[in-house]
Structure 1
Amino acid sequence: MKKVFEVALGILTAIGGFVDIGDLVFNAQVGARFGMSLALVTLLGVFGICVFAEMSGRVAACSGRATFDLVRERLGPRMGLANLVASVAVTLLTFIAEIGGVALAIMLVTSISEVLIVPFVGLLVWAVLWRAKFSVMENVLGLLGLGLVVFTVALWQLGPSWGDFVSQAATFDKPGKEDWPTYAYFAVGLFGAAMTPYEVFFFSSGGVEEKWTSKSLGIMRANVLIGFPLGGLLSLSIAGCTAVVLGPLQVDVGALSQVALPVAVAVGKIGFAFVIIGFVAATFGAACETGLSAGYSIAQFFGWQWGKFVKPRQAARFHLVLILATLLAIGVLMTGVDPIMVTEISVVFSAVALPLTYFPILVVANDRDYMGEHVNKAFANVLGTIFLVLIVVIAVAAIPLLVITHMGAGM
C-alpha cells in the first residue's frame, strides 16, 4: 500500500510540477494565434522529455550520482565546462522568469505592482530553498499546482468542436494570416518549453537527494511516463481554452491575466481562484526547482558538497550559489523588465542549450561502468538519437527565428 501511495503521489506532483511559466505563456499564445495546429509539437516535446528524464533518473538510481557529477568525469573538463556555462545561463534566465511569474500571479489578486512584490517572492523562495525539506517542497507545491487542472474543466465547459481540434492538430498547418517563420518560431518555443534543461538536472539530483536505488526504477518510471504526459495534456488544455475564447477575438496574449481569462469565462470566480492558486504554486515550484538546479549544476561540477540532505553550513558554497542566484533574479526584475518577455527569451535559449544538456545524458546512460545491467537498450538509444538530431536542428534554428520574427511578432 505504501508503494501505491508513493507512485500516486509522485504522479500527481509530476502533473502539477510539469507546467511552469514557459508552458503557461507559450501554450496560451499558441492557442490564441494558431489554435490546436501545434498540438503535435507539444506532444513531441513531452515524449522527448520522458525519454531523457527516464535516462537521467536511471543514471541517478543506478550510480547514486547526479548528471553534472558524471558529465565532467565522463566527458572531461572542457566539454563539462561548456555544458555547465550553457545550462547555468539558461537555468538562471528561467529562474528570473519564474520569480517574475510568481509576482505577476500575486499581482492579479492584489493589484500591487510586480516590481514591489518581487523582493518578497525572492526572499520566500530563498527561505524555502534554505529550510524546507526536499520532499515537502516538491510534494506540497506539486499538489497545489494541480489547481491548473481547472483549465481542463474549463475547456470541457466551453464545449469546443472536438472534431475541429483533432483536424487542426492532424493537418499541422498555420492560419492564413500568419507567416511560416513565425509559425516555426512558436513551434521551437513550445518544444523548448516542454524540454527545458533544468527539468532533468532537478530530476536526477532529486533522485540522489531521495536516495533512489535500482529498486526505485519502477516508481521513477511511473512518475515520468504517466505524470509528464498528463502534465502535457494540461498544457494542451491551456492552448485549447485560449483557442476557443481568445482566438476569435484575435488577442495576442501578453499578460498572465489573459491566460486566466478563459477559465473565468467558463467557470466563473471559483475557477479563477483555482487558476491563481495553480499559477502561484506552479511558478513558485518551478522557481525552487530552477534555483536548486543552478546550485546543483555548479556544485556537482566543482565537486562541492551539495543538496538539501546536508546542513547548510556543510554545503556553504552550494547555498552561497542559491543566495547569489536569488539576488541576481531580484536585481534584474527590479529594473522593471517584463517577466513575460524574459520568459519568451528563456524558452528560446533553452532550445539552443538542449544539445549540450541531453547529449551527455545519452553518453552516460550507455556507459556500463556506471549503469551495469541497466545500461541503455537498443530501443532507448534509437529514441535518444532521433530526439538528439531533432534537438540539434531546433537549436540551430532558434536564434535566427527569434531575430527574423522579432520574437514572434511577425515579419
Structure 2
Amino acid sequence: MKRIFAVALGILTAIGGFVDIGDLVTNAVVGSRFGLGLVWVVLVGVVGICLYANMAGRVAAVSGRATFEIIRERLGPRAGFANLAASFLINLLTLTAEIGGVALALQLASGVDPMLWVPLAAFGVWIVVWRAKFDLLENVTGMLGLTLIVFAVALFLLSPDWGSLAGQALAPTVPSSESVATYWFYAVALFGAAMTPYEVFFFSSGAIEEGWKRKDLMTERLNVFVGFPLGGLLSIAIAGCAAVVLLPEAISVTSLSQVVLPVAQAGGTVALSFAIVGILAATFGAALETTLSSGYTLAQYFGWSWGKFRRPARAARFHLSMIVCIVVGVLILFTGVDPIAVTEYSVVFSAVALPLTYLPILLVANDREYMGTEVNGRGANALGVVYLVIILIAALAAIPLLILTGAGA
C-alpha cells in the first residue's frame, strides 16, 4: 500500500496537468476533428514533461529546496522575476478555468447553472488548501481522478476499427475539412497543455512538502515515470472516444456533455457516473494544484515562509496570496467568460512562456553547487537541449497560429 501511495504526487500532478478542464475539452475537440492524428503531440509532451519534472524533482530531493527558490538565487532577481511573471499570469488564468471547470462538472451532475456553483467550488478549493494535509490532498484527489480510466474502458466497449485508429495515429494527415494552420495550432495547444509550467513547480514544491531526500530519488522517479505517462494515456483515451463517436457524426465539441457522450453511449449510466466523478476529481485536483502553485511561486521568489507543512499562521503571506488568487479567479468568472475558452487560451500562452520555465531548470540541474554528483548525465542534457529547441519553436509559433486560425475555429 505504501508503494501505491508513493506515486500519489505524480498521479495528482499528472491528472491535474494532463486532464484538467481544458485538456478534457481540447482532446475531445482534437479527436472529433482530427481523429488520432495528433496523438504524436501527446507522446512528445509526455516525454518532455517527464524529462523536466524528473530534473525538478531531483533538484528538490537533493538540495532540499524548491526549484523556484534556486532559480532566483542562481539566475538573479531579474531573470527570476521574468520567470515568475510569465508563469504566475498563466497559472492565474488556469486557476480561473479550473474553478470554472469544477462548476461545469457539478452542472453536469446536477443540471444547475454553473454560475451558481462557482462560489461553492471556490470555497471548496480554499477550505481544502487551508485545512487538509498535503498527503490527504494528493491521495484522495489523485486516486479519485483515476476513475477517468472509464474513457479507456469505453473505447474498448465501443469496438472501434483498431486498424483505422492505428492508421490515424501512425500516419497522421490533415483532413480535407481542416487547414494546415489549424492542425498546427492544436498541435501547439496540446504541447503547451502537456508542458504547462505549474506542473513542474507544483511537483518540485510537493517534493519539499513530502520531505523527500536523496534516498527518495527512486520514489521521485516512480512518481514521474508512472504518473505522467498515465495522464498521457488518459488524454489519448479521451481523444480516441471522440474519434470513434463524434468524428463520424461531425459533432462539434463545445461542452462537457459532448465530451462524455461516448462514455454514456458505451457504458450507460454507470459509466457516465464514473466519468463525472473523474472529471470532478480532475478539475478539483487541478484547481488545488494551480492555487498552491500560485502561492509557491510567489513565496519562493520573495522569500516568504511557505508550505502546508507549516501552520497557516506561520505562512500567512503564502496563504493570503492563494486566497487573493482564488478571489480574482471568481471575479473573472463572474464576468460571464467561458472557462473552457479561458483554459484553451491559457495552454496556448503556456507554450509562449515555456522557454522561461524550462531553460532555468536545465541550468540548475547541471549545477554541481546544488546537485553534487546528481547533475544531469549526457543523455539527459542532450534530450533537454532537443526539447528546448522544440519549446522555442512552439513558443514562436503559438501567437501567429492563434491569430491566423482564430483560436482554432
Q: Given the two structures, how large is their TM-score scaled by the length of structure 2?
A: 0.98
> Contact conserved, 1:16 with 1:143, CA < 8 A, in 2?
no
SS at match of 1:247: helix
| Deviation readout 1:155-189 (Å, 9 max, x if unpaired) | 00011111111111111211111100000000011
The correspondence of residues 298-337 of structure 1 with structure 2, limited to 5 A, is: 298-337=298-337
Number of the residue aligned with 1:26: 26
Tell me by how many angstroms 1:5 deviates.
3.8
Aligned mates of 2:97, 2:340 — CA distance in 1: 7
> Contact conserved, 1:152 with 1:234, CA < 8 A, in 2?
yes
> Contact conserved, 1:14 with 1:223, CA < 8 A, in 2?
no
Number of the residue aligned with 2:74: 74
Number of the residue aligned with 1:164: 164
Structure 2: gaps of 5 or more residues = none
Aligned mates of 2:14, 2:392 — CA distance in 1: 27
Change (3 A) 1:8 1:269: same
The correspondence of residues 230-245 of structure 1 with structure 2, limited to 5 A, is: 230-245=230-245
Aligned mates of 1:108, 1:195 — CA distance in 2: 28
SS at match of 2:382: helix
Aligned mates of 2:97, 2:203 — CA distance in 1: 20
The correspondence of residues 73-222 of structure 1 with structure 2, limited to 5 A, is: 73-222=73-222
> Contact conserved, 1:14 with 1:224, CA < 8 A, in 2?
no
> Contact conserved, 2:35 with 2:168, CA < 8 A, in 1?
yes
Aligned mates of 1:74, 1:126 — CA distance in 2: 33
What amino acid maps onto 1:205 in structure 2?
A: S
Tell me by how many angstroms 1:304 deviates.
0.4
Structure 1: gaps of 5 or more residues = none
Aligned mates of 1:144, 1:85 — CA distance in 2: 33
Number of the residue aligned with 1:278: 278
| Deviation readout 1:229-288 (Å, 9 max, x if unpaired) | 122111100000001110011122111111111100000000100011001100000000
| Deviation readout 1:98-125 (Å, 9 max, x if unpaired) | 1100000100122211111101110110
Aligned mates of 2:4, 2:347 — CA distance in 1: 34
> Contact conserved, 1:15 with 1:146, CA < 8 A, in 2?
no
Q: CA RMSD in A?
A: 1.2
Number of the residue aligned with 1:349: 349
Aligned mates of 1:57, 1:213 — CA distance in 2: 10
| Deviation readout 1:42-85 (Å, 9 max, x if unpaired) | 11001100000000000000001111101110001110010000
Q: Percent identity?
A: 59
What amino acid maps onto 2:112 in structure 1?
A: I
Aligned mates of 2:161, 2:152 — CA distance in 1: 15
Aligned mates of 2:357, 2:63 — CA distance in 1: 19
The correspondence of residues 54-73 of structure 1 with structure 2, limited to 5 A, is: 54-73=54-73
Aligned mates of 2:8, 2:114 — CA distance in 1: 33
SS at match of 1:268: helix
SS at match of 1:291: helix
Aligned mates of 2:402, 2:45 — CA distance in 1: 19
Aligned mates of 1:270, 1:71 — CA distance in 2: 47
**Count, aligned residues:** 408
